[in-house]
Amino acid sequence: MNINEIAAAKSNFVARAVDEELVLVPLRNNVADMTEIFNLNEVGHFIWNEIQEGATVESLTEKIVSEYEVEAEVAQADLEEFLNDLSNFILND
């Protein structure tokens, strides 16, 4: 997973916060792909906002730990899984 790639791809999405969650809609150039809409929960929403060029797993983990009551090891493992899912979705887009 490459955080810079995810950061660069963010502009290809329309993101709308709804309560604590985030709805992500990919911008498309084909009518056949219109049903892929993603919802991120509160933590996913937080991470999405913090993803920017130059961010690392370590820097994001630190931010999660300072925001939520969670052990660093657990936060990092969950973060890596989340980034992998996000990366797969973006690369397949």
Partner 1 sequence: MKQTFVLTVADYFVKIYSEENVPVFFEEGYTNFLQLEEVENYDATVVCHAGLPEISTYTGEVIFDAVLDKQRLWQVVQTEKQRAFIVFNPKNIEEIQQVAFLNDASTEWHVYSHVLKQNDDSFISPLSYPLGALILYYLTLNSNAFMIHASGVWDGETGRIFSGFSGVGKSTMAKIWEEEGAHIVNDDRLIVREVNGEYFMYNTPMPYADLNKQAQVSKFYFPFHAKKNSAEKLSGAQALSQLMAFCFQHNYDKKYTEHLITQLERITQDAGTYKLGVVPTPSIIDFIRSVEFKG
Binding site for partner 1 (CB under 8 A): 14, 16, 18-19, 21-23, 25-32, 34-35, 37-39
Residue number with CB closer to partner 1 (22 or 79): 22
Given a contact cutoff of 8 angstroms between Cβ atoms, the answer to whether 28 and 34 are in contact is yes
Length of the chain equals: 93
In whole angstroms, how close is the CB of 22 to partner 1 at the nearest point? 7
**What one-character-per-residue DSSP string does 32-87 give?**
GGTT--EEE-HHHHHHHHH--TT--HHHHHHHHHHHSS--HHHHHHHHHHHHHHHH
Residue number with CB closer to partner 1 (20 or 73): 20
In whole angstroms, how close is the CB of 26 to partner 1 at the nearest point? 7
In whole angstroms, how close is the CB of 17 to partner 1 at the nearest point? 9
